[in-house]
Structure 1
Amino acid sequence: MITIWHNPRCSKSRQTLALIEEAGVEVTVRKYLDDAPTAAEIEAVHAALGTPPLIEMMRSGDKVFKDLGLGKDSSDSELLSAMATQPALIERPIVIKGDQAVIGRPPANVRALL
């Protein structure tokens, strides 16, 4: 079973979902902007991604990121809190399978989980 944190307005997210569906894999679509993940869920996905710098899970070029005064020197707790309260800051899409996850940028990254 695969779960995708999906934003239907994002072309990369739509392309990633299409790759999963074309592979015939059962997928749960979580529209994370409407159903925001908790800090604990974000931490679990961060671990599944292999614990890259937390900022790599974020849309650091987003206006909200800058408005919140976040940057490369922000602490992990600040970044985590920002993603939990402002889910639009979470890079999209994120695809999760068990204890593994990938960011679908580029969408072909999802093939590692199929």
Structure 2
Amino acid sequence: MDVTIYHNPACGTSRNTLALIRAAGIEPTVIEYLQNPPARDQLAKMIRDAGLSVREAIREKGTPFAELGLDNPDLTDDQLLDAMISTPILINRPLVVTPLGTRLARPSELVLDILPSDAFTGPFTKEDGEQVLDAEGKRLG
């Protein structure tokens, strides 16, 4: 299965999502989006395919969101996309693209919606100790 993750290795949610993909036996294409941001059209497509608005896909915490005036509700999607491309830390992560769909994997277990359900054969526990999959690889919660 062809899977791409837009990843930030400094982010625990992104690391957990990558680990879940690998636990499914899939070695994804890993794009560290801070160094290699997606093209504007590609970012817009991923946001749309994930069922999000541009405003829902922008990251506020730990970014210059307010300093750049992006909290202005009158800004257009085009203006927000331009800001995300010019300042990639504003792109919420991790975005994951598979043939089964696109998700902003926050929380990380949302990636399970777009991975083969039969790919998991054992438990999975996040970095913080939260168990996501049981001993048979079934989703908890």
The Cα of 1:99 is off from its aligned counterpart by 7.2
Kept in 2: contact 1:55–1:72 (CA 8 A): no
Unpaired runs of 5+ residues, structure 1, are none
CA RMSD of aligned residues (A): 1.4
- Alpha-carbon displacement from aligned partner over 1:44-67 (angstroms, at most 9, x marks no partner): 1012112x2211111123441111
Corresponding residue of 1:11: 12
TM (norm. structure 2) is 0.75
Q: Any idea what SS the aligned residue of 1:65 has? A: coil
Structure 2 letter corresponding to 1:49: A
Name the structure with the higher helix share.
Answer: 1
User: Structure 2 matches for 1:1-114, cutoff 5 A?
Assistant: 1-50=2-51, 52-71=52-71, 73=73, 74-98=75-99, 100-114=101-115
Mark the structure with the bigger radius of gyration: 2
Moved more, 58-67 or 23-32: 58-67
| Deviation >3 Å, runs of 4+ | none
Any unmatched runs of 5+ in structure 2? Answer: 116-141
Q: What is the number of residues matched between the two proteins?
A: 113
Q: Which has the higher contact order (CA 8 A, sep 6+)?
A: 1
TM-score of the aligned structures, taking structure 1 as reference length: 0.92
Q: Which amino acid in the other structure matches residue 81 of structure 1? A: D
CA distance in 2, matches of 1:69, 1:98: 36
**2:94 and 2:104 in contact (8 A); partners too:** yes
- The whole-number CA distance in structure 2 between the counterparts of 1:47 and 1:99 is 15
